[in-house]
Amino acid sequence: MTSHSSSEKDRVVIFDTTLRDGEQSPGATMTHEEKLEVAELLDQMGVDVIEAGFPIASEGDFQAVHEIAKRTRNAVVCGLARAAFKDIDRCAEAIKPASRKRIHTFLSTSPVHMKHKLQKEPHEVYEMVIAQVTRARNYTDDVEWSSEDGTRTEIDFLCRCVEAAIKAGATTINIPDTVGYTTPEEYYTLFKTVRERVPNSDQAVFSVHCHDDLGMAVANSLAGVRGGARQIECTINGIGERAGNTALEEVVMAMKVRSEVLPWWTGIDATMLTRASKLVSAVTSFPVQYNKAIVGRNAFAHESGIHQDGMLKNAQTYEIMTPESVGVKQTSLVMGKHSGRHAFVRKLEDLGYKLSANQLEDAFVRFKALADRKKQVQDEDIEALVDEEIATAHDRIKVLSLTVIAGTMGPQTATLTLDIEGKHVTTQSVGNGPVDAIFNAIHSLVPHEAKLELYQVQAVTEGTDAQAEVSVRLSENGRSFTAKAADPDTLVASAKAYLGALNKLTSKRGKTAVAEPRIHPQHAG
Ligand SMILES: CC(=O)SCCNC(=O)CCNC(=O)[C@H](O)C(C)(C)COP(=O)(O)OP(=O)(O)OC[C@H]1O[C@@H](n2cnc3c(N)ncnc32)[C@H](O)[C@@H]1OP(=O)(O)O
Ligand SMILES: CC(C)C(=O)C(=O)O
């Protein structure tokens, strides 16, 4: 990571359009209050221009832009308007209270849009650009003009329109890739060409506005900046029309992290990126994909043993930016089937365990077995597993295998093999339900007089693949012994918990009664 150049010519204006283009994502509509909350956060995080809405679109949009204009302290508040006087007048009214205000007016310039959508000749479009920018300048000195579908516009016509817009008073010229069609090399050349060919181009700031239809919005935006643009239009989480817009968090961090090859900088406080992402996701109900760059929940999470080992030795082995730099508390080492011993030991230390080498090896083997069966192994799973490992380390009786037939057909039957002080014994028992069948089988292999006082099941974590934690209490001669066991299979956990209690009981007695190895198809306890 290198620090950015602080030269003003390399400063890139961040124009956030989460509340306008972002809200155009089908299903992303935000309430008035939610828009105010998002705008406030954008202002706090250093966004230069907030495109707060499209005031002519609805009374609600007008009111939101108006209120944001009243409340925003630092950023320029901008509203969108078509090339129509009524749009521009309504927009001007909406942004009026802002201390810094911008009118953003746009008009399509590509042959396909002019012919089919606007149904206008190029000369009419040209005249509209001049008339609308002039109209907007009556209200504010800060006027942006966009050549909608700019990347599919004939270059000569585009240059003429850009020149006319600047002459009429536009201070920002946006050349959008409205349909996400361009490539980095093309977009770079477009900006370079337009800036070289338009005689008054130095009187305006050029701007990129990219869509992600081919997944190139961020790369295209940065290429446009390389071509001379100094404003990036973008949204939090990349939301926006169709496949979305350039993701604010991605362009900002690309320039920060790779400043030696992307030598531009912004005024964004990157430590607020995660908060902004969460807020926008919450108010739009658009989940952030897990592997999303910068703000996805896996962006700073590692599950593979080799990566986790590297991270524990030096975070730079697998992270190109710190989680703190984008507002994430810390890297997470997620325990799963790909994890190795280094990460497992660290996790145990974090959970407060200190195991002997043998216990550790046993616990690791059991952890791997659990991870193979369960999508996510949570801290609680590991705690349950290690607690059991410690509690059962000296057990005389252990479950070797268990097969249960359950369901409507009955009889519920348990076939159980135990290791009793090194001796393997098997039996089969039926019962009034699968748990009863298992307990009968145990009773058959380890005869005892203890009474079952408690049998309780609860989930260790959430989800259908959660481990079941079973508690069993047995009592004999006025003394009670309780044990717990966890397993993704409730019936296995039940057998282990029962045996846990029995182990405690028999160790107090000092000896374990063992029945002869046998098969008991009819045994009912
Ligand atoms: C690329 C972009 O993201 S552009 C922004 C897109 N965002 C939106 O459209 C969201 C808000 N839009 C709306 O609420 C409505 O579309 C409104 C209020 C703007 C207009 O609604 P309506 O008057 O019912 O028109 P409708 O949306 O059906 O059609 C759009 C009209 O605007 C015209 N138009 C489109 N772009 C422009 C423009 N930049 N300047 C002038 N007119 C335009 C179309 O040619 C069409 O005109 P027509 O009625 O003469 O055929
Ligand atoms: C209004 C313009 C800037 C736009 O959203 C687009 O072209 O995608």
Q: Verify that 198 and 220 share a domain, yes or no.
A: yes
**Given 390, 419, 445, which residue is the final one in a domain?**
390
CB-neighbour burial class of residue 46 (10 A; exposed 0-12, middle 13-18, buried 19+):
middle
Q: Verify that 92 and 237 share a domain, yes or no.
A: yes
Q: Verify that 409 and 445 share a domain, yes or no.
A: yes
| Structural domain contains residue 294 | no
Is the Cβ atom of 235 under 6 angstroms away from ligand 1? no
**Given 342, 361, 390, which residue is the final one in a domain?**
390
Distance separating alpha carbons of residues 418 and 465, to the nearest angstrom: 26
| Beta strand 479-487 pairing with 468-476 | antiparallel
Q: Verify that 210 and 318 share a domain, yes or no.
A: no
pLDDT tens-place string over residues 340-387: 999 999 999 999 998 889 889 999 999 999 999 887 799 989 998 888
Residue type, 67: E
| Structural domain contains residue 2 | no
Q: Verify that 144 and 199 share a domain, yes or no.
A: yes
| Structural domain contains residue 524 | no
Q: Verify that 274 and 343 share a domain, yes or no.
A: no
| Structural domain contains residue 522 | no
Instruction: Return the SS3 of 377.
Output: coil
138 assigned binding-site residue: no
Looking at ligand 2, which residue's alpha carbon is closest to its atom 8? 178
Three-state secondary structure of 158-185: HHHHHHHHHHHCCCEEEEEECCCCCCHH
Q: What are phi and psi of 144, to 5 degrees?
A: -110, 135
Distance separating alpha carbons of residues 385 and 266, to the nearest angstrom: 49
32 assigned binding-site residue: no
Residue 47 Cα, ligand 1 centroid: separation in angstroms? 27
Is the Cβ atom of 306 under 6 angstroms away from ligand 1? no
The tokens for 153 are 């516009």
Q: Ligand 1, closest atom to CA 119?
A: 45
CATH code, domain carrying 89: 3.20.20.70
Q: Verify that 106 and 59 share a domain, yes or no.
A: yes
Q: Ligand 2, closest atom to CA 245?
A: 8
Cα–chain center distance at 112: 38
Is the Cβ atom of 117 under 6 angstroms away from ligand 1? yes
Q: Verify that 386 and 399 share a domain, yes or no.
A: no
Looking at ligand 2, which residue's alpha carbon is closest to its atom 6? 178
- Total domain count for the chain? 3
Is the Cβ atom of 83 under 6 angstroms away from ligand 1? yes
Distance separating alpha carbons of residues 60 and 362, to the nearest angstrom: 62
Looking at ligand 2, which residue's alpha carbon is closest to its atom 5? 21
**Given 390, 405, 431, which residue is the final one in a domain?**
390
| Structural domain contains residue 254 | yes
Distance separating alpha carbons of residues 19 and 36, to the nearest angstrom: 10
Residue 79 Cα, ligand 2 centroid: separation in angstroms? 12
Question: What does pTM read for this prediction?
Answer: 0.84
| Structural domain contains residue 428 | yes
Residue 452 Cα, ligand 1 centroid: separation in angstroms? 74
Query: What is the pLDDT at residue 513?
Result: 52
Strands (E) located in 256-313: 301-302
Residue 67 Cα, ligand 2 centroid: separation in angstroms? 23
142 assigned binding-site residue: no
Q: Ligand 2, closest atom to CA 24?
A: 5
CATH code, domain carrying 486: 3.30.160.270
Q: What are phi and psi of 479, to 5 degrees?
A: -115, 140
Q: Ligand 2, closest atom to CA 176?
A: 7
Is the Cβ atom of 87 under 6 angstroms away from ligand 2? no
Q: Verify that 385 and 399 share a domain, yes or no.
A: no
Tokens 């008339």 correspond to 131
Q: Verify that 353 and 271 share a domain, yes or no.
A: no
Within the chain, which residues score under 70 in pLDDT? 1-6, 508-525
| Structural domain contains residue 289 | no
Q: Verify that 328 and 457 share a domain, yes or no.
A: no
Residue 453 CB contacts under 8 Å (≥ 6 apart), including other chains: 473, 474, 475, 480
Q: Verify that 364 and 440 share a domain, yes or no.
A: no
Q: Ligand 2, closest atom to CA 233?
A: 3
Pocket probe for ligand 2: among 209, 234, 235, 239, the residue whose CB has the most ligand atoms within 8 Å is 209
| Structural domain contains residue 517 | no
Q: Which domain holds residue 465?
A: 395-509
